[in-house]
Amino acid sequence: MSDIKVSVIVPVYNVEQYLRKCLDSLVNQTLEDIEIIVVNDGTPDNSQVIIDEYVKNYPNKVYGYIKENGGLSDARNFGMQYAKGEYIAFVDSDDFVAVTMYEKLYNKAIEENAEIVVCAYFNVNANNNTMKSAQKGNLHIYDGSIHDHPEIIENNAPYAWNKLVKKELFDRTGILFPKGYIYEDICTMYPLLASANKISKVDEELYYYIVERKGSITSSFSKSKTLMLRSLELLDERFEELGLFDEFRDQIVVINLRHIYLRFKEFDKYKWRREQIKFVNQAFDLLNKHFKNWRKNSGSYIYFTLAEDRHIKRWFYKRRLYWLFVAMMPLKWIQDYRDWDYKKRHPGSDMKRYYIKMFETKKVVKNRVIFESFHGKNISDSPFEMMKELYKRGGYEIYVTSTESSWEKNKKLLEEEGLSKVKMVQLGVEKYFEILATAKYLVNNVSFPISFTKRPEQVYINTWHGTPLKTLGKNMKKGIESMFNIQHNFLQSSYLLFPNEYTKECTMKDYNLDKLFTYKTVIEGYPRNTVFSDKEKGLEVKKKLGLEDKKVYVYMPTWRGANSYGKMGIEDITENLEKLDAALDDNHLLYVNLHPNIGEAVDYSVYKFIKPFPEGVSNYEFVNASDALITDYSSIFFDYSITRKPIVLFMYDYDEYMDEHGTYFDARTLPFKQFFDIDSLCNAVSSEEILTYKYDDANEYFEKFIKYDGPDCTRKLVDLVFKGKEDGLIVEDYAKNREREWKISVLLEIKEKKEEYDEYVNSQDIENTIFVMNKKYFHALMNKWYYEEYNDKLTYIIFGYQRMLNEEDEKIYVAKDKSNNKQLEAVKKKARERAYARSLPNIKIINKDENRRII
């Protein structure tokens, strides 16, 4: 048996210019037992000279083969006959990969006994050197085969190069890449996915796919585009041969419709009109052949205008294709396509443009207030408590954000609380952005949209939503780049609220606020926690819900996110709930509150004594009514400890969780009862032992974390924000940061190698420079570099590019008409200044004229 773990097959044809970068990324892989099979597919350029060089320099790792030209599929099949690896991978020779790619994919395959492992990737635009993340997320569906999760087919890109495939799977199915086809991955990878016993995922961008390169076969609409239909035809036939066509008919028709639809969307970009008409006719012939009722979608028809070009429309009408496209597609895709079509026909619907219009034309309204918690998913937390206090005082026009899906639930809560004059506004609609631009006062516990730019007259308090155990911002092991909009919001906040010195220290350091924040911080107990000082309120809520004679436990596990071991935690949670349900009885109930991303994945109707949190009462009011809290790494335990009621930390995945997530201290040092297996927890629940746990003598804990919590916090903070009164509060003004002079350095290109990035960093005046990082350039390796070395060395911000211009200015900017250079420069300057106001408000930058990039 071979010791080779992974065989990477690299077909080469006319890629002399890009081949070295590709091969460098492969020979430097952190997985040692790897072979790289480079197949010269009769290339006419000098690529073979490069191949020979790598074969010589990397013996026993790089192997070169030469064959007559037969196309990409033929070259891949040719390479596979020489592959000795347990798994096979494919790389296009004008792309490149992260150096950790195959170690991560292989380890995942072995850990989970998977026949295919997929990963996310970056689409890299070689013309302007930008890139965009793709195929991130949906980790919860990668824990079985497509028989378990058919949505794997619908949610997966067909590409061969972001997948690791067990060689045995090719041998067992006999599936090869079809010679003479383009879009050959469609008819090869989907059948392989359908045949795999287990499919797993590494949710990181590990492959760099070069798109928009001039001359690429897929970058222009030519006669070869119609050959894509051959691949779809073969896809349908292969599913029939596998005996899987009927089982996955809905998924197969989605694949067909999606790829045909994407070609339709390209029609107004290219010439070759005659070939486009031919493509339309052949596409509908294919659909009618394999999916006779493809136009029906449960009796509902969704119509799309697929092209704006009036000539194409005329041709469509002439051929009686005015009905165009009726799709049997998942609702999300229908919505995405409908949204795309609507925006194409209604450019003024762009909400960012509307926000800018309000920003420029409307005045700030003196007594207007907007409260928002958790992006409108619920009305809760500190913003809710402050809203209730302000409502009692009167004299303010109060708005509160709600998502559309939470509208009825949130409306019911306002009615229950007697807040009839509070106006709900739906997140993301025009009215929302009008209020965001014109409210004098803004209160949020997470962040406003990326386009949000605080006006000088506005007063914004960010309360955040918890004392942290898990590391924040730049101190996260993964996903440092995700802090960008939170960092923007913090930097724009008139007041940043912290419940203790510990939280302030962690947040200011890990969002790079110590040197860049220019407003005021406040240390005071969270308004949301005032409820825990009201024991009688808890008894009232319990009685109101008919639970006064029950022992009520609440279970609030943390969000595990996209980890490599828990598949979002759904399986673990459901298995644990089954065992807990068996340990409960009529007098002992467990109420569960899960993160919104997985809450709907649990069917509570199957449990006898387990229920979701009730509606009509805020989460914290209900938690206050409980008899004990069960959690894990969630900051809820800090808040609940104010009650001195029993707390249990159920940390069944402690070792794995700690491997993937950083924490500020070891959770095992907390003064609460801890369990690491479900059986022990069940025994404590069934015996009522859980109700006996005490921590009254944990004075050091109380002093560090909850000494500022009390019944008067809400009043004092409302006085601060709306009256400017600082009495009884610990307020620190960071206006001194406005005086320091900085240079900025904006990274303008992807740095794949650490040596390159080191060179870039060391070329700057590190002590006096703010490094400005584009979120899309912040790849997984850079995350590692920063986490291990740069976090303590550099002052930096991360931005997600948004040009804050109105519609007319945007046209001027895009046109770049040099004949009216004065007007163009004025627009550019406006865009830059607004970007600074959002990303680095009040910071004195001395090299603005040298850095003309909009951040």
In a shared domain, residues 205 and 234:
no
* Average pLDDT of span 307-330: 35
* Average pLDDT of span 521-535: 95
Say if residue 758's pLDDT is above 90. yes
Which backbone phi and psi does 333 adopt, to 5 degrees? Answer: -70, -40
Q: Is 628 helix (H, G, I), strand (E, B) or coil?
A: strand
Taking the alpha carbons at both ends of the chain, their separation in whole angstroms is: 54
User: Of all residues in the chain, what percent are helix, strand and coil, respectively (each to 5)?
Assistant: 45, 15, 40
Check if the beta carbon of residue 140 is closer than 8 Å to that of residue 199. no
pLDDT tens sequence across 35-66: 999 999 999 999 999 999 999 999 999 999 99
* Average pLDDT of span 10-24: 95
**Domain range enclosing 54:** 1-219
**Using 50, 70 and 90 to split pLDDT, how confident is the model at 67?**
very high
Say if residue 833's pLDDT is above 60. yes
At 191 the pLDDT is: 92
Say if residue 327's pLDDT is above 50. no
Say if residue 249's pLDDT is above 70. yes
Could you tell me the sign of the dihedral formed by the alpha carbons of 100, 103, 104, 105, in that order?
positive
In a shared domain, residues 679 and 548:
yes
At 616 the pLDDT is: 83
At 138 the pLDDT is: 84
The CATH number assigned to the domain holding 124 equals 3.90.550.10
**Using 50, 70 and 90 to split pLDDT, how confident is the model at 644?**
very high
Kindly state the percentage of the chain with pLDDT values over 90: 60
pLDDT tens sequence across 473-510: 999 887 788 898 999 999 999 999 999 999 999 999 99
Q: Is 275 helix (H, G, I), strand (E, B) or coil?
A: helix
In a shared domain, residues 396 and 488:
yes
d(CA 641, CA 535): 13
Say if residue 300's pLDDT is above 80. no
Only one residue has tokens 């796919």, namely 209
Domain-located, residue 357? no
Could you tell me the sign of the dihedral formed by the alpha carbons of 504, 509, 512, 514, in that order?
positive
At 268 the pLDDT is: 52
Say which amino acid occupies 701.
Y
User: What count of other Cβ atoms lies within 10 Å of the Cβ of residue 397?
Assistant: 16
In a shared domain, residues 115 and 248:
no
Choose the final residue of a domain: 219, 237, 256.
219
Say if residue 676's pLDDT is above 80. yes
* Average pLDDT of span 126-151: 84
**Using 50, 70 and 90 to split pLDDT, how confident is the model at 692?**
very high
pLDDT tens sequence across 192-205: 999 898 999 999 99
Say if residue 106's pLDDT is above 70. yes
At 639 the pLDDT is: 96
Domain-located, residue 712? no
Domain-located, residue 352? no
**What's the 3-state SS for 75-123?**
HHHHHHCCCCCCEEEECCCCCEECCCHHHHHHHHHHHHCCCEEEEEEEE
Domain-located, residue 626? yes
Strand order from edge to edge, sheet including 647-650: 610-612, 588-592, 551-556, 628-631, 647-650, 673-675
DSSP assignment of 177-206: PPTT-SSTTHHHHHHHHHH-S-EEEEEEEE
The H or E element spanning position 64 is strand 62-67
**Using 50, 70 and 90 to split pLDDT, how confident is the model at 342?**
very low
Domain-located, residue 507? yes
Say which amino acid occupies 437.
A
Could you tell me the sign of the dihedral formed by the alpha carbons of 618, 619, 621, 622, in that order?
positive
Tell me the residue ranges of DSSP E strands in 734-781. 741-746, 769-774
User: What count of other Cβ atoms lies within 10 Å of the Cβ of residue 92?
Assistant: 19
Domain-located, residue 210? yes
d(CA 224, CA 446): 49
* Average pLDDT of span 133-138: 88
In a shared domain, residues 71 and 182:
yes
d(CA 601, CA 634): 20
In a shared domain, residues 518 and 609:
no
Question: In this predicted model, which residue has the larger pLDDT, 325 or 650?
Answer: 650
Query: Per DSSP, what are the bridge partners of residue 217?
Result: none
Least confident of 45-59, 220-234, 808-822, 836-850: 220-234
The CATH number assigned to the domain holding 507 equals 3.40.50.11820
* Average pLDDT of span 577-584: 96
**Using 50, 70 and 90 to split pLDDT, how confident is the model at 82?**
very high
In a shared domain, residues 520 and 560:
no
In a shared domain, residues 646 and 701:
yes
Q: What angle do CA 418, 420, 423 make, to 5 degrees?
A: 135
- Give how many domains the chain has, as a whole number: 5
Q: Which of 691, 731, 687 is nearest to 708 (CA)?
A: 731
Task: Report the range out of 323-337, 571-585, 757-771 with the highest average pLDDT.
Answer: 757-771
Q: Is 745 exposed, middle or buried (0-12, 13-18, 19+ CB in 10 A)?
A: buried
Question: In this predicted model, which residue has the larger pLDDT, 245 or 539?
Answer: 539
**Using 50, 70 and 90 to split pLDDT, how confident is the model at 695?**
very high
Domain-located, residue 31? yes
User: Whole-number mean pLDDT of the chain?
Assistant: 85
In a shared domain, residues 480 and 578:
no
At 722 the pLDDT is: 98
pLDDT tens sequence across 375-396: 998 899 999 999 999 999 999 9
pLDDT tens sequence across 740-750: 999 999 987 77
Q: How far is CA 229 from CA 114, 283, 524, 603, 823, in A?
A: 31, 7, 64, 41, 48
d(CA 37, CA 735): 60
pLDDT tens sequence across 465-477: 999 999 999 998 8
In a shared domain, residues 214 and 263:
no
In a shared domain, residues 552 and 701:
yes
Choose the final residue of a domain: 291, 314, 345.
345
Say if residue 310's pLDDT is above 50. no
**Using 50, 70 and 90 to split pLDDT, how confident is the model at 438?**
very high
Question: In this predicted model, which residue has the larger pLDDT, 599 or 552?
Answer: 552
The CATH number assigned to the domain holding 581 equals 3.40.50.12580
In a shared domain, residues 688 and 590:
yes
At 199 the pLDDT is: 94
Choose the final residue of a domain: 661, 688, 705.
705
At 274 the pLDDT is: 60
**Using 50, 70 and 90 to split pLDDT, how confident is the model at 226?**
low
Say if residue 356's pLDDT is above 60. yes
At 253 the pLDDT is: 79
Least confident of 107-111, 186-190, 320-324, 514-518: 320-324
At 147 the pLDDT is: 81
Say if residue 286's pLDDT is above 90. no
Domain-located, residue 554? yes
Question: In this predicted model, which residue has the larger pLDDT, 520 or 661?
Answer: 520
